[in-house]
Amino acid sequence: MIKKNKQKISTSGTCAGCPIGIIARTVLNGTDNPIAVTNATGCMEVTTTIYPNTSWKVPYIHSVFGNAGATVSGMETAYKALLKKGKIKTEKPVKFVAFGGDGGTYDIGLQALSGALERKHDFLYVCYDNGAYMNTGNQRSGGTPFGASTETTPAGKESFGKEVIRKDLATIVAGHHIDYVATANVGFIDDFQAKVKKAFETKGPSFILVFSPCPNQWQHSPKKTIEIAKLGTKTCFWPLYEVINGKYKISYRPKSRLKIEEFMQTQGRFKHIFKSKNKEALIKDIQGKVDEEWERVEDLEETGAKV
């Protein structure tokens, strides 16, 4: 469980039911080393840095939407230069962490992140994925799932919702040939904590993609956040796995896989699908997409093929 004696971040001003605080505390409590954080503009940044206050009790830099990867690169490089010149000393090496939402990671910040990964800077990047640009009003992102209704892909008489599947960001990141990539879920906190520990122990860049339900824009009760998060993985909509030195390793296999509709029907963003005359065909199509991705990950683990 999360250690409560470490106050590296205090309670933030997030919406009721938002799991961002859980994510931040889990990551910051994942090491005893000193930590320095950069945080791309987004829900986490705006709710933890409400002027004139801050929730952060570690060195912290607010990055703009698109440059968290560049900022953490500069932080890590400056630290190494100062160490070399003997201008700073620490008992344990400083760990550098970058946080970003799916909008600031899948899309706007992908170029800066890609550069940081390719240069092999030593840092952990954590993307909290709530499936749209929630900070600015629920516009679709590269992480928005197929079928979801957003402000820019609204469901109605003239449109269906998002008509394309979301990016496979974990595989894109793994394609940079880094040593540690993982998916995580706030509903599986022990698994998340273990992955954070591994990420901090990895030399060079590491990356964790965390499933982060948004009660306001997914249109579900705040008290259902963790339950819905768990459904995301139990239906295999959000598989939990690691990519260690290019090889896939599944970290959670549902004993009895649930159907994708059990996850979708908990959220208002999918309600138009259940009202559609083509409901059965649409759900079958979405189930097929989920099954295909799960089978792909299983095949990669079984064959031992490298990314």
DSSP states of 143-202: TPPTT---SSS-BSSS-BS--SPPP-HHHHHHTT--SEEEEEETT-HHHHHHHHHHHHHS
Please report the pLDDT score of residue 6 as a whole number: 60
Structural domain contains residue 231: yes
> For 159, phi and psi rounded to 5 degrees?
-150, 160
| Residue 138 falls in which region: left (phi positive, over 0), alpha (psi -120 to 50) or beta | left
Query: Could you tell me the residue range of the domain that residue 194 belongs to?
Result: 20-303
Please report the pLDDT score of residue 12 as a whole number: 73
The one-digit pLDDT tens for each residue of the chain (307 residues) are 334 446 688 867 899 999 999 999 999 999 999 999 999 999 999 999 999 999 999 999 999 999 999 999 999 999 999 999 999 988 999 999 999 999 999 999 999 999 999 999 999 999 999 999 999 999 999 999 999 999 999 999 888 999 999 999 999 999 999 999 999 999 999 999 999 999 999 999 999 999 999 999 999 999 999 999 999 999 999 999 999 999 999 999 999 999 999 999 999 999 999 999 999 999 999 999 999 999 999 999 999 988 8
Residue 288: exposure state from Cβ atoms within 10 A (0-12, 13-18, ≥19): exposed
Structural domain contains residue 14: no
Structural domain contains residue 15: no
> Rounded to whole angstroms, how far apart are CA atoms 73 and 131?
26
Residue with tokens 């549902």: 254
Structural domain contains residue 163: yes
What strand order describes the sheet that includes 124-129? 60-63, 35-40, 95-101, 124-129, 206-211, 180-185, 241-244, 247-250
Task: Count the domains in the chain.
Answer: 1
Closest alpha carbon to 185 in 23, 29, 306, 40: 23
Closest alpha carbon to 170 in 80, 225, 238: 238
CATH of the domain at 128: 3.40.50.970
Q: What is the bridge-based pairing of β-strands 247-250 and 206-211?
A: unpaired
In the three-class reduction of DSSP (H, G, I as helix; E, B as strand; rest coil), residue 210 is classed as: strand
Structural domain contains residue 8: no
- The strand pairing partners of 40, in sequence order, are 63
Structural domain contains residue 7: no
Structural domain contains residue 13: no
What are the DSSP E strand ranges found in the chain? 35-40, 60-63, 95-101, 124-129, 180-185, 206-211, 241-244, 247-250
Please report the pLDDT score of residue 210 as a whole number: 98
Structural domain contains residue 11: no
